[in-house]
Amino acid sequence: MEKKNNFPLGGVIPKGGTAHDYSTGGWRKLRPVVDKDKCTNCLICWVMCPDSAVITEDGKMVGFDLEHCKGCGICAVECPDKVKAIKMEQEAE
Amino acid sequence: MAITMTKGQVGLTGNSAVAYAMKQINPDVCAAYPITPSTAIIEDFSGYVADGAVETELITVESEHSAMSACIGASAAGARVMTATSSQGLALMWEMLYIASGMRLPIVLANVNRALSAPINIHCDHSDSMGARDAGWIQIYSETVQEAYDNMFQAVRIAENSNVLLPVMVCFDGFITSHAIENISLVDDAEVKDFVGEYNPATMLLNTDNPVTYGAMTLPDTYIEFKHQQSQAMSRSKDIALEAGKEFGKRFGREYGLFDSYRLEDAEVAIVIMNSAAGTTKVAVDELRKQGKKVGVLRPRLFRPFPFREIANALKGIKAIAILDRVDSMNDFGGPLFNEVRSALYDLETRPKVFGRIYGLGGRDYKVKDALGVFDELYKVVETGKIDTLTKYITL
């Protein structure tokens, strides 16, 4: 927020993409870890991730954006049974 | 309902008149759920939608909570939005009412005043809208079918004013006003369009060229600033409402103020009362005036924001005032109108004697004799200089 007297009416955020600037990774209890030897780059994890925290390059899954990943584990569940390349590990470990 | 006019006058119920006003305004979206006694508004309006007389998207929902939620979504998307409800319906909207006002969405809601359960009752009192008085909505109260109809246009203009941007509730009495037929004058369609203007919101969800977020979270570092903005807008809306009432008068010959004063100029005693019961009280005033008694009525129209300076100014010099509420705050200290008007009078140099009476709950008749009884009490207070009972129920 810039000036206090210049707040947008009704709490409207007047531009797009601002969620990127807000780190939500600090809430995470479980961290996704990918085994790239098993991963087939099917990108189901990328489709299913509710926080758009799966990073891709040239159509390949390359890892996780841990600034935004909340550790929900959807990627690990959705990773196909034959592959199971993603595991959730305790942050504390 | 087919509208046929004789000499520019048309006989309509309050609900039909408000539905016709909505047809003339032609909002983009209307999301509503039927509830007595406001059902006929949406019933009539859905007829206009089915006939293609309006371009409105009518969203039929499964509850009033959903109705207001859909209104909020549509309004954030950039639409002009209207709805109608009563009683438990308004109560079920409660949570969303605050979101509509906090997000500064200029939704217009017609509230047909009805008692709240329990015991269940479908008839008129003001406990529904008075319960929502702190929800951040502008509230306009209407005495007659004509005024309910006229207020709908003013509501759109006030709500969408760029200095306001707040939702507006137009209130009128269930059955007494909503179902009684009155002869009223209609405004021409083209003149309605001109009076309400086009709605061009500064930001909207559906503008993909300029994406925005509605409903974001704010924490202690920002929340109070947004509430302060909202409070200032509410404060500014008083003048905008006054302006809308004046402009309406200039164009259509029926001018509206913040409140309606009836034979108040030289009055010794007065009753402050809202909505249809003010008409009954005016009849009592006329009778007493014939006997040479100086009595008058003040009928607040704009209850939110509460024009306390103007009301105090209009009541100064009066010896005794009775404030009549068609709702009980259940606080052992009278109704909301009593409390606010009495508080408004505090700064007068010579304070009038003031008492509060609660009348007509759940549709109990308030008759001319009831008003005469209150005027009797007022004269007793003037004679003795003492108030025996500060607040109590009448029409029991």
Strands of B222-377, DSSP E: 259-262, 269-272, 295-300, 302-304, 320-325, 353-358
Residue B326 has pLDDT above 60, yes or no: yes
**Cβ neighbours for B375, distance < 8 A, ≥ 6 positions apart:** B269, B271, B284, B288, B293, B295, B322
- pLDDT for B6: 75
Record: contact A12-B165, CB cut-off 8 A: no
Residue range B373-388: mean pLDDT, rounded: 98
Provide the CB-side half-sphere exposure for B168 (13 A, CA). 28
The reply to whether A3 touches chain B by the CB within 8 Å rule is no
Contact status, residue B236 vs residue B224, Cβ threshold 8 Å: no
Q: pLDDT tens-digit profile of A76-90?
A: 999 999 999 999 999
Distances (CA, A) of B29 to B55, B299, B342: 9, 32, 40
Q: Which residue of A has its CA nearest to B208?
A: A16
What average pLDDT does chain A have?
Answer: 92
The reply to whether A6 touches chain B by the CB within 8 Å rule is no
Q: Where in chain B is the domain with CATH 3.40.50.970?
A: 9-252
Q: Which amino acid is at B264?
A: L
**Cβ neighbours for B349, distance < 8 A, ≥ 6 positions apart:** none
Give the length of chain B: 396
* Per-residue three-class SS string for B106-140: CCEEEEEECCCCCCCCCCCCCHHHHHCCCCCCEEE
- pLDDT for A3: 62
Q: Out of 3.40.50.970, 3.30.200.20, 3.20.20.70, 3.80.10.10, select the CATH number for domain B9-252.
A: 3.40.50.970
- pLDDT for B204: 94
Residue range B238-259: mean pLDDT, rounded: 98
DSSP-derived 3-state class of residue B323: strand
Q: pLDDT tens-digit profile of B122-172?
A: 999 999 999 999 999 999 999 999 999 999 999 999 999 999 999 999 999
Record: contact A16-B203, CB cut-off 8 A: no
Distance separating alpha carbons of residues B54 and B23, to the nearest angstrom: 6
Contact status, residue A82 vs residue A48, Cβ threshold 8 Å: no
Residue A1 has pLDDT above 60, yes or no: no
Record: contact B203-A18, CB cut-off 8 A: no
Distance separating alpha carbons of residues B284 and B375, to the nearest angstrom: 9
Q: Which amino acid is at B230?
A: Q
**Domains (ranges, CATH) in chain A?**
38-93 (3.30.70.20)
Q: Does domain B261-393 have CATH number 3.40.50.920?
A: yes
Q: pLDDT tens-digit profile of B351-363?
A: 999 999 999 999 9
- pLDDT for A5: 66
Q: Where in chain B is the domain with CATH 3.40.50.920?
A: 261-393
CB–CB contacts below 8 A, A to B: 49
Distance separating alpha carbons of residues B47 and A66, to the nearest angstrom: 55
- B117: which 2 tokens? 């359960």
